[in-house]
């Protein structure tokens, strides 16, 4: 059986990866498993354990790192995030596409291990736009906002390492562009 396609959707925090992914999930001609990451971050209001993330203690996360449970993992602004490898592989082996919504260090690790992955980098139309999105989320302290913005500036330099760069000037349009990239990758 043909393996599923491993899709990496990366880009700076706050660029809208989650919103775009949710639009992709509703498209009837696309079918993929969204890889639920493990994180040591506390849930934001409305986030559901097992749906948005698997929320775990740092202790548990580190023991899983030691066991080699992650396809990739990274520290991002003081918290750990990782992709459980067994779940992703079981979907890929069944022929189902798997979408990873991850930051750039993790994306780099996946590309080193799985060079055939489809890598897509979502960028904001401008830094001002990204800042207002991060602020609009209203869930982080000023210090965390500043750290996320500094991180975003360095992450934007990495766009050239991806097969496709998509500008999130409009979420529906950006989702349609990513839809077309995924469909074309299957041909």
Angle between helices 171-186 and 17-26 (to 10 degrees): 60
Q: What is the CA radius of gyration of the chain?
A: 16
**Which residue in the set 3, 41, 114, 147 belongs to the binding site for ligand 5GP (CB under 6 A)?**
41
Nearer to ligand 5GP, 52 or 177 (CB): 52
CA distance 76 to 10: 13
Asked if 74 touches ligand 5GP (CB under 6 A), the answer is: yes
Least CB distance from residue 28 to ligand 5GP, whole Å?
A: 25
21 touches ligand 5GP (CB under 6 A): no
Number of residues that bind ligand 5GP (CB under 6 A): 15
Decide: 11 and 100 in contact? Cβ < 8 Å: no
- Taking CB under 6 A as the rule, does residue 40 contact ligand 5GP? no
Q: Examine residue 102 and tell whether it contacts ligand 5GP (CB under 6 A).
A: yes
CB 4 within 8 A of CB 95: yes
Alpha helices in the chain (DSSP H): 17-26, 58-67, 85-93, 104-113, 127-136, 142-156, 171-186
Using the rule CB under 6 A, is 119 a contact of ligand 5GP? no
Among 13, 40, 119, 168, binds ligand 5GP (CB under 6 A): 13
- Token pair for 37: 């990451």
With tokens 């396809």, the residue in question is 71
Per CB under 6 A, residues contacting ligand 5GP are 13, 17, 37, 41, 72, 74, 76, 81-83, 101-103, 105-106
């Amino acid at each position: 059986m043909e393996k599923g396609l491993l899709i990496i959707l990366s880009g700076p925090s706050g660029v809208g990866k989650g919103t775009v992914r949710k639009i992709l999930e509703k498209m009837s001609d696309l079918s993929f498993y969204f890889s639920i990451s493990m994180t040591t971050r506390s849930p934001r209001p409305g986030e559901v354990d097992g749906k948005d993330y698997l929320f775990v203690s740092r202790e548990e996360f580190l023991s899983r790192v030691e066991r080699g449970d992650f396809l990739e993992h990274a520290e991002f602004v003081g918290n750990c995030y990782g992709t459980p490898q067994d779940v992703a592989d079981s979907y890929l082996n069944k022929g189902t596409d798997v979408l990873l919504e991850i930051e750039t260090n993790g994306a780099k690790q996946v590309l080193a291990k799985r060079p055939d992955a489809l890598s897509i980098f979502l960028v904001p139309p401008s830094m001002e736009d990204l800042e207002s999105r991060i602020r609009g989320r209203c869930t982080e302290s000023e210090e965390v906002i500043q750290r996320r913005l500094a991180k975003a500036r360095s992450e934007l330099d990495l766009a050239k390492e991806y097969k496709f760069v998509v500008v999130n000037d409009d979420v529906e349009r950006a989702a349609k562009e990513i839809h077309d990239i995924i469909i074309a990758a299957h041909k």
